[in-house]
Structure 1
Amino acid sequence: MPIVSVSMPEELVECLDQFAEENGYSGRSEVIRDASRELLDEFDDQSLEGRQLMATVTVMFDYQTGSVEREMMEIRHEFDGVVESNFHTHVGDNFCLELFVLEGSLEAISTVVGTIRATKGVQTVSYSVVPMDDDLLVE
């Protein structure tokens, strides 16, 4: 098995080690392999292919860590055809919450979520995806 070197903050390494110990993993490498598989499989849901979807994406970041807020605005404009709505608010002393409402194909939504996740300084990204089939919409 190839060895891959990854840089991460010491605090995150400590959390990985603690998580591995508490959950019966053999070590941090196994945790990272498991998490990597989960991330790669995340949008590999065949039942969503070819359907019109809606997604909510919640992003948290420390507003003092650089240009994340500006980059969220750039993502909003870059994916204007998919982003239906965007909301920004302050949470706690140092954090911002960015909420995106997306509408589009699985590929389009996963591209936006991937772009958000890849933004340096983003701390958490969570989302949900819902099919927008006609029979699900009540008049």
Structure 2
Amino acid sequence: MRRITISLDDSIAEQFDQLIERRGYENRSEAFRDLLRHHIETERKMTYTALHCVATVSYIYNHHERGLASRLTAAQHDHHDLCVTSTHVHLDHDNCLETIILRGKFKAVSAFADSLIAQSGVRHGNIHIIPVQIDQPLRSRHVHLLPGT
């Protein structure tokens, strides 16, 4: 591990310390590492240098909306190679929350997640994508998905 030193204006340092306290970080170093990871991964996503990813897509929809539940299910079946699992929660008599876990090539996962959220009738959609590297250990039949450090 490498040690670096940074200088901050008093105002920014105070705001940073408040952020650390609100989020429950043990120290400044861990908070700073998380900020850097977030910005590095955001850059990888924006420049499409991330080749593979895992993701969650969550959304709320009214299951009475004509054909919407069927369209969402059909879309998942059409992309079964990306869909790992899904959960379906009944929020009330009308609204459902679904969360789908995806994995695959970054562009395909991103496009599919966007298409789910864009369905007419889907509300409160959110996508969380984490770029990963694929590693297959020697003499192993399975693959490891390694998130960025």
**Interval of TM-score (by shorter of Structure 1 and Structure 2):** 0.5 to 0.7
Partners of 2:50 and 2:132 within 8 A in 1: no
> Secondary structure in 2 aligned to 1:45?
helix
Partners of 1:82 and 1:109 within 8 A in 2: yes
RMSD of aligned residue pairs (Cα, Å): 2.2
| 66 and 128 in structure 1: CA distance in 2 versus 1, 3 angstrom threshold | same
| 111 and 136 in structure 1: CA distance in 2 versus 1, 3 angstrom threshold | closer
Letter in 2 for 1:107: K
Q: Which has the larger radius of gyration?
A: 2
Which aligned runs of 4 or more in structure 1 are off by greater than 3 angstroms? Answer: 134-137
Partners of 1:49 and 1:105 within 8 A in 2: no
TM-score after normalising by structure 1? 0.59
Greater strand share, structure number: 2
Q: CA deviation at 1:44?
A: 5.7
> Secondary structure in 1 aligned to 2:114?
helix
> What count of residue pairs does the alignment treat as equivalent?
94
Q: Unpaired segments of 5 or more residues in structure 1?
A: 1-42
Identity over the aligned pairs, expressed in percent?
19
Equivalent residue, structure 2, for 1:129: 129
Cα deviation code 1:64-91 (max 9, x no counterpart): 2222111111011011111111221211
Following the alignment from structure 1 to structure 2, what is the Cα–Cα distance between the partners of residues 119 and 55? 18
TM-score after normalising by structure 2? 0.56
Equivalent residue, structure 2, for 1:73: 73
Following the alignment from structure 1 to structure 2, what is the Cα–Cα distance between the partners of residues 86 and 122? 16
Letter in 1 for 2:46: D
